[in-house]
Structure formats: C-alpha cells, structure tokens
C-alpha cells in the first residue's frame, strides 16, 4: 500500500508540474538539416551506406568508440546519462574508462534536474576522466517528457526503467525534433544485450518500450531507418540504402497528408 501511494503521488506531482511549467524540448546547437546517424552501444553496428561528411553523428554514452573504425574521432553530438558520469555500476564505470581522454562536439547530459550547481557538478565529473567537449547542455526530466510528447503524442513521466525509453531513443527523438531529413540508427537493437565497448554482456534496459517507440515513429511517418539488417528484420524498420533513399510508405503518407492540409482547397473550408 505505501508503495502504491508513493507511485500515485509521483504520477500526480509530475503531471501537474509538467502541465504548469510547459517545458520545451531541447534544441540542438549543431544544424541537423541532412541525414543524422544515431549510434548506440549494442555489440553490432554498421556504417550507413553512402556515409560521408554531409551526415551528422549523434553518439550515446560511450558509443562513439564504434565510429572510430569509420575514421571519426569526434561525433557532432553526444547524449550521455548523468549516472554515466559518477555511477558505480559496471556500465557507468566502463563508460568512463573507454571515454577517458576523448572528446565530442556538443555534449547533452541527461539529468533529473538542472541548475548552476548541477552544471558545475557535471563539469567536475567530466574533468575527472578528461572528457572534452565544445559546448555543454543539461537536459532535465521535464524537457525529455516534452520531447517525447512533441514527437509521439505520449506523455511519459519516466516513472521507472520499464516505462521509459533509453538514451539512444531520446537521441532519435532529439534528431527528429531538430530537423533531421532522415534518422539512421545503428547499434540500437531492442533485442540485444551487451555493449560494444566491453565483454561483460550486461543486460540492456528499456528494450520493450524502445521497440514500441520505434514502431510508433514509423507508423506516424517519420523518416527513420536502420543500418543494421538484423534490426530491420526483427523490428521492421526500413534498411537504409543511401541518401537518395525513397521515403517509406508511412513517411510518404504523412507528407501527402501535410500537403493536403496546407493546400488552398483545404484552407478555404
């Protein structure tokens, strides 16, 4: 009973706060007009067909290690969970180990709260393993709720690991919201365990919800693809074949609907 009351209090509090504060989704400091590759930490990932300097790369936690094989030393953007910076669990410890001495472009740290004290704490944590960045942004819980709401129509209050999405999925939503012409995921597989940067085969959280969000985005017509054949087969995402990739049926339908709504005939009704 106490647990139920605590859960209800959390739900009511977060819904009221979200409604009253009206937070806005995070904006990018890096232009995302073309294709964006979101690289996750799953053990298997692939460089997208046609990849060149016109593509932007968003890495998640320590996944930038995967793109070193592509000749990329520094991703354009990195999204990193706050726990990765100071947590004592094996995944967080491994993240700091493999990122020691590396750098990124724009770093977005996903926190529970924002503020000057939290910003200084984040900077100190990053300095502790010599991780460098061009600019630093903190993304609070309610910004993430707003991002999910804006992109999918869902109000996800991040109540627990089973009912919230992974940092990789937040990166996908971030890219879509900020104008990517196509989002190609690689190293994001809802059915896999383990991470590319270690051999511990650690269990991955959020798998069911991640899959549900990917399918929802596809059905809503977003230009989302995968560079991983296994993910294409298991989840149903279209496989990326290059920048001249024709739109998926869902994406084409969404475009047609948008054009119909903006046509003179529809505006005169």
**What crossing angle do the helices spanning 141-152 and 207-219 adopt, rounded to 10°?**
40
Domain carrying residue 188: 16-238
pLDDT digits (tens, 9 = 90+) for 156-180: 999 887 788 899 999 999 999 999 9
Q: b/e for 228-243, b at 16 or more Cβ within 10 A? A: beebeeebebbbbeeb
Domain count of the fold of the chain: 1
**Residue 151: pLDDT over 70:** yes
Residue 197 maps to which CATH number?
3.90.1480.10
**Residue 201: pLDDT over 50:** no
Q: How confident is the model at residue 131 (pLDDT cuts 50, 70, 90)?
A: very high
pLDDT digits (tens, 9 = 90+) for 18-53: 999 999 999 999 999 899 999 998 888 999 999 999
Of 110-124, 161-175, 244-258, the range with the lowest mean pLDDT is 244-258
Q: Distance (Å, rounded) from C-alpha 40 to C-alpha 183?
A: 13
Q: Identify the pLDDT of residue 256.
A: 46
Q: How many CA atoms lie within 13 A of 83 on its CB side?
A: 9
Specify which residues 57 forms β-bridges with: 37
On average, the pLDDT of the chain sits at 86
Q: Identify the pLDDT of residue 24.
A: 96
Q: Identify the pLDDT of residue 153.
A: 95
Q: Is residue 2 part of a domain?
A: no
Q: Is residue 78 part of a domain?
A: yes
Q: Is residue 8 part of a domain?
A: no
Q: Is residue 258 part of a domain?
A: no
Q: Is residue 208 part of a domain?
A: yes
Q: Is residue 261 part of a domain?
A: no
């Amino acid at each position: 009973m106490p647990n139920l009351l605590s859960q209800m209090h959390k739900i009511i509090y977060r819904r009221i706060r979200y409604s009253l504060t009206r937070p806005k989704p995070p904006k990018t400091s890096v232009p995302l007009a073309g294709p964006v590759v979101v690289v996750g930490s799953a053990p298997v990932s692939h460089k997208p067909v046609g990849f060149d300097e016109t593509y932007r790369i968003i890495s998640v936690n320590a996944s930038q290690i995967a793109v070193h094989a592509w000749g990329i030393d520094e991703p354009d953007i990195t999204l990193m969970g706050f726990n990765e910076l100071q947590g004592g669990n094996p995944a967080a410890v491994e993240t700091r180990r493999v990122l020691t001495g590396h750098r990124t472009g724009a770093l977005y740290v996903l926190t529970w709260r924002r503020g000057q004290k939290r910003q200084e704490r984040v900077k100190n944590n990053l300095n502790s393993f010599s991780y460098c960045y061009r600019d630093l942004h903190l993304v609070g819980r309610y910004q993430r709720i707003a991002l999910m709401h804006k992109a999918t129509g869902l109000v996800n209050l991040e109540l627990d690991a089973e009912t919230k999405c992974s940092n990789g999925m937040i990166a996908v939503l971030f890219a879509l919201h900020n104008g990517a012409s196509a989002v190609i995921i690689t190293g994001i597989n809802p059915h896999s365990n383990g991470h590319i940067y270690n051999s511990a085969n650690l269990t991955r959280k959020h798998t069911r919800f991640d899959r549900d969000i990917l399918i929802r985005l596809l059905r809503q017509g977003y230009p989302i693809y995968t560079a991983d054949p296994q993910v294409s087969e298991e989840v149903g995402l279209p496989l990326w074949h290059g920048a001249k990739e024709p739109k998926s049926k869902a994406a084409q339908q969404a475009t047609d609907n948008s054009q119909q709504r903006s046509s003179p005939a529809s505006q005169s009704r």
